[in-house]
Structure 1
């Protein structure tokens, strides 16, 4: 294989640039040309493709976002859209692709693989909701952003006798909320994977209030519902004054942590190695600090799960 492409798709995640850098430089080291496909699958269909050199990825390892941009594309989910993309791959002589993104991105990668264009997927999403890997690129950075925000909210919380709800990202996955809540000593952690009874939440808040606790922190994943609705319900039920902070897209930005930079670099280099060996339709990941790869179809068929022991520990520590 002498010419490959790289694209980022779906939501951006800190560390994607480090992965792009690793792909480009590892490929060039092995005399493989690399083409950057801008704006994901939409850019692929439109032929928004440029050759990348060593200097193209200089001074980007510390930057958040993605220098080749990202986009979502409904059209590429169709056979006609995929054929448009394949025509562009033929035009540029691209023999294989490395796709950085989440499960939606991997579905596109699998379709291209089935149509004769080998693809390797790299998991890049702050939600950490991809099976087959302990961590996804961007999760650690987003987690630290949340922890920093909660620490600052706690400073204000100590000055007022209030309950504070922190709404974080996680429409279908609660890893960010669970890890941040445990790291910051939250009284309650509300995630989509576990039904936490509202009465239990109120009981924990009242128990803390009765023993003289001045404030309480609740971390809520967006998939559970609106933080404002939950806060209103708490006030109506318990008479505890409640404030809500929605962190929103601040969680997706920022310079990646050392952990994310190293993870992205390792996965990017490994993805190139797999293409060089003739592998296709695989996703790279890390498990027990070892690089692994799995069949994309098998990964897509596996539901996301949380660490139930960690969730139970968070409840035991919030007595």
Structure 2
């Protein structure tokens, strides 16, 4: 079926990620380039239901490529989970004359978009924006590279204190279901151990590893822990366990938390967001729908929403091996 698209809505949903503004900018300017109107939807699906819209043009998105967060704001909408809520959203779109949507977010955003598209026959294209890099079908998500750089910079500073006081630091990073941030940042920051949800190291093995490190002459250590790792009930319980079973280290815990989501996006994220923003409008013009535009092997491609469901990706065994070798 061919869709006569004249006006495109764009929204951000779920957790914010550095580079979302760059994606919004690219979507708006790609619309202008292709002589389409563009409407910003504020506060995600919640704003869609409430009709919180604003017409956008090329000048509306000036000077935002370098800004973190999202100028369109983000919110989680319980009402959109219901058929009645989605029907209200559909009528709001029709009242505004919006023919298609571009949604920027994670797997929850795409799940909602898929249902909405199928129920009301609306072309929707998704752009992956989440720092966790846990969306299937794309090598990278917008915000991931910036978050990595933020984590590495923080660990570098923590190491200065660890070395000065012969301390062991547990540094918790985001990644409830995926250890990409922990694994890559751990290697980049020279961590002694990396704990990720995809690989159960076990507390006994961790203690033995730390004992070997101490015996080899290490007087301080950094352990990077993904928030989804199950080695302990939580990072503070893990710290207590280490103190009880390892003599000679002061154990400290740092939870980086939402600092990882903020900040100016890296050049990589700005370029990625720009490419995917343009690709989303190309997809709509080419009569695509119900797909995410992602990147694989540095090539932009379209992936059906149903294939993007969040799940544990295959571990990069080369990175695991590199981490084991370089942490000696």
- Which TM-score band (shorter chain)? over 0.9
300-309 vs 3-12, greater mean Cα deviation? 300-309
- For the pair 1:250 / 2:259, whether they are aligned, the reply is yes
Residue 303 of structure 1 and its aligned partner are, at CA, apart by 4.4
1:59 counterpart residue number: 63
The answer to whether the 8 Å contact 2:173/2:226 transfers is yes
Unaligned runs of 5+ residues in structure 2 are none
CA deviations on 1:159-178 (whole Å, 9 max, x unpaired) are: 01111110011111111101
2:243 counterpart residue number: 235
Aligned match for 1:154, one of 141, 155, 159: 159
Aligned match for 1:171, one of 168, 173, 176: 176
Aligned match for 2:283, one of 258, 266, 274: 274
The answer to whether the 8 Å contact 1:285/1:291 transfers is yes
2:192 counterpart residue number: 187
User: 3-state DSSP class of the match of 1:165?
Assistant: strand
Query: Quick one: distance in 1 between partners of 2:311 and 2:259?
Result: 29
The answer to whether the 8 Å contact 1:112/1:118 transfers is no
The answer to whether the 8 Å contact 1:8/1:39 transfers is yes
| Mapping of residues 60-209 of structure 1, within 5 Å | 60-114=64-118, 115-209=120-214
Residue 111 of structure 1 and its aligned partner are, at CA, apart by 1.2
Query: Quick one: distance in 2 between partners of 1:305 and 1:125?
Result: 18
Unaligned runs of 5+ residues in structure 1 are none
Query: Quick one: distance in 2 between partners of 1:84 and 1:191?
Result: 41
User: 3-state DSSP class of the match of 1:189?
Assistant: strand
1:286 counterpart residue number: 295
- For the pair 1:298 / 2:303, whether they are aligned, the reply is no
The answer to whether the 8 Å contact 2:134/2:311 transfers is no
Residue 302 of structure 1 and its aligned partner are, at CA, apart by 5.7
Query: Quick one: distance in 2 between partners of 1:123 and 1:306?
Result: 20
Residue 309 of structure 1 and its aligned partner are, at CA, apart by 2.7
